[in-house]
Amino acid sequence: MFSKNRHDCLSDSALNKVMIFRDITVQEVYSSSINGSCPSYNQRWTMYDPEIEQYTGPIRDVTVEEEIHILKLYDWRSKVKTNTPVSMTRGHKLIKDAGPNVHPDGFFDCTVEILHKHRDECKQGTLVIYSVYVTDYTSNENLPVLQGDGEWRCPETLQDKVLKIEMWDSAVATAEKMNAGDFYSITNVKMRISRDNCWEGKCKEEKMQKLSTNELEMCPDLVALLNRRDAWNASQDELERNTLHPRNHALLQDAEPDKIFHCIAEVVHVSKESHSTYLYVTDYTARDGLVPIYIAPKPKVEGKQLQILTLSTGNVIYIKKLKLQRLPGVARAADGSPLCYVSGTLEGDEMLIQELKLGGQGTGDEYKHLGALLRRKQEYEEFQQGERN
């Protein structure tokens, strides 16, 4: 199968490894036996080690179909090797307890809540793959930090509890029916190490069942998940109460980078693009390091919430959960010392921007700071008028 002249390309194949061969010629030889051969001038093989999930060999462009066939072959070999059904040794596991090297061979059953899904673009033929993001509200430090996409944003406190499961083959039919908030029992998930060196799940069989919260007596694993979910929601409520405390209000000149705060500001400009809306605001306090813009050196707030607001120049707004994030590049303070650029980002998916009525009689915490902003604005306008005179 290999070149007689290129000993450096000979495979060091061993048990439990999978070989990929291309351009094999099948020939009938002595005693009607069948042998395969490859051209000695064209190295068309590679070896896959399922333990470390790495390829070695001349072939580098392994296709998605070949990867799926490898998983099928390895799955079949695992079932044949143990003369007992896989389901009898696999067992139900929490996300925190699953792993690529956990017996048997990283396979496990789980009970999860569906958070998000999307269909992946596959360039290899007509193969359909779904990426489904699930949680059972247990954390695993080997999971990647998920930010989400344009349609979904993963809460920061849930990022170490979300498992991505790629579904293809027979599993696609069920994946297409999944919706956020559904609960599922999923059988025979394979935990593996992704190309980014993080853990993710794979599932190709339609061994999944949608669960109902009206039949909890039939599913103790779902009861346990719901209890963990309630505990997580309670922690979120506590965090929300602490975050929204009036002491977290800050002026832009005093806000610390990477710390969440609330502020009252006036809208200077609104700029909408295809997938984002940029809001330029001021609270009439000065700060070094604000990102350079074409209008005025004011921070930028970005978020999906703005797409459902009708804001215009001159509106005064209350912004909750604003965070100044550090950006690449070096700005200069008034004394010439270096400092990082900052711009604003909203930390949450709920409605975080509220328009304040200047003539209204608001009683909330946000109105306590409105008068101070209006006084700073008046001082600024008087100073500008004096400069012009």
86-238 and 247-388: same fold?
yes
Q: What is the C-alpha to C-alpha distance for residues 75 and 90, in angstroms, rounded to an integer?
A: 13
Q: What is the C-alpha to C-alpha distance for residues 73 and 231, in angstroms, rounded to an integer?
A: 41
Query: What's the CA dihedral at 294, 295, 301, 307 to 10 degrees?
Result: -100
Is pTM beyond 0.75? Reply is no
Q: What is the C-alpha to C-alpha distance for residues 134 and 182, in angstroms, rounded to an integer?
A: 10
Burial class (CB in 10 A: 0-12, 13-18, 19+), 174: buried
pLDDT of residue 327: 75
Q: What is the C-alpha to C-alpha distance for residues 362 and 373, in angstroms, rounded to an integer?
A: 15
Q: How far is CA 268 from the centre of its chain?
A: 33
What number of residues does the chain have? 389
Residue 74, C-beta contacts closer than 8 angstroms, at least 6 positions apart: 18, 50, 105
The answer to whether 204 and 71 are in contact (CB under 8 A) is yes
Residues of the chain falling short of pLDDT 70: 1-16, 27-43, 50-52, 77-89, 121-126, 147-151, 240-247, 274-275, 293-311, 328-338, 349-350, 359-366
Q: What is the C-alpha to C-alpha distance for residues 338 and 244, in angstroms, rounded to an integer?
A: 33
The answer to whether 280 and 267 are in contact (CB under 8 A) is yes
Tokens describing residue 299: 């921070």
pLDDT of residue 330: 62
The answer to whether 130 and 79 are in contact (CB under 8 A) is no
Best CA proximity match to 283, nearest among 293, 268, 270: 268
Beta strand 199-203 with 162-167: parallel, antiparallel or unpaired?
parallel
Q: For the domain 247-388, what is the CATH superfamily, name and number?
A: Nucleic acid-binding proteins (2.40.50.140)
Q: How far is CA 13 from the centre of its chain?
A: 37
What sign has the CA pseudo-torsion 60, 142, 162, 222? positive
Domain ranges of the chain: 7-62, 86-238, 247-388
In the chain, alpha helices (H): 64-81, 86-90, 172-175, 220-243, 365-368, 370-388
Helix (H, G, I), strand (E, B) or coil at 380: helix
Residue type, 100: P
pLDDT in tens, 356-383: 877 655 566 667 788 888 888 888 888 8
pLDDT of residue 221: 93
86-238: CATH topology is: OB fold (Dihydrolipoamide Acetyltransferase, E2P) (2.40.50)
Best CA proximity match to 320, nearest among 265, 276, 262, 264: 262
DSSP secondary structure letters along 232-245 = HHHHHHHHHHHHTS
| Partners of 354 in beta bridges | 318
What sign has the CA pseudo-torsion 157, 95, 71, 17? positive
pLDDT in tens, 161-197: 999 999 988 889 899 999 999 999 999 999 998 877 8
